[in-house]
Amino acid sequence: MPDINKINGLVLCDETNVNGVTIANITNIDGITKNCCTANGPIPLTGPAETCALACASEECSNYYTDGTSGTCPLVNGDYLYTNTSCVFAGNGYYSPKNCVEECDYCYSVTSGIITVTECPEPTVCRTIKLFGDPSSCAKACAGKCKTYYTDTPSGTLPTVGKHIYPDAECTCPEEGNPAYYSDKCGLKSGKCYTMNTSTCAITSITNCPLGEARP
């Protein structure tokens, strides 16, 4: 196939205009489609994922391409990310080289193919916590018999708004079935009720359970 980038010795994609017409407004010359594509790579990355944390934790690497310098870590803000050498934009989401390239603990947020670079967040450290979860109300959560859940709350402290309560030791939040309320009352005279965002497993508010007699 003819290469529009070199027509009669003219490196088209290096020019700003041809015969007074700007490059941006040229789609083809003599029926040859313009393709000023620079796709360097491949670059092994995980993703796309819904969050930086998930992209940085994943170990499923695939090859991508960029108009930036493929051998550097990290890429830079404003670089493009492509799925192939034809410069098809990578889908929106989060990508990471962390588990694909040594000593490259970064996250790439991609929107319309454009990269924004951040560092990978620190991995979530889970610990066990005794709670009772209920889908319908604080009152029922406060009355229940506690079992083991998991939280990213530091050891020795109570959960606070913004912290998470998870059903498993991997600290993952299932897509459905998460209790809307948890309590640490556990049969004692007093305790807290934690109202949850069931989509993210994050605590949104904290109230006191009604006072009552401790169960034997």
Please tell me whether residue 145 adopts helix, strand or coil conformation. Answer: coil
The three state secondary structure string of 53-81 is HHHHHCCCEEEEEECCCCCCCCCCCCCEE
Q: How far apart are CA 94 and CA 111, in angstroms?
A: 9
List pLDDT tens digits, range 126-162. Answer: 899 999 999 999 999 999 999 999 999 988 899 999 9
List pLDDT tens digits, range 33-83. Answer: 556 778 999 999 999 998 898 899 899 999 999 999 988 899 999 999 999
Q: Is 2 exposed, middle or buried (0-12, 13-18, 19+ CB in 10 A)?
A: exposed
**Residue 180 has what DSSP assignment?**
S
Kindly state the tokens that stand for 124.
């979530």
Residues 6 or more apart whose CB falls under 8 angstroms from that of 184 comprise 129, 130, 131, 146, 158, 191, 192, 194
List pLDDT tens digits, range 83-105. Answer: 999 889 999 999 999 999 999 99
Residues 6 or more apart whose CB falls under 8 angstroms from that of 93 comprise 47, 48, 49, 50, 55, 109, 110
Amino acid at the residue 152: D
Domain ranges of the chain: 40-119, 127-208
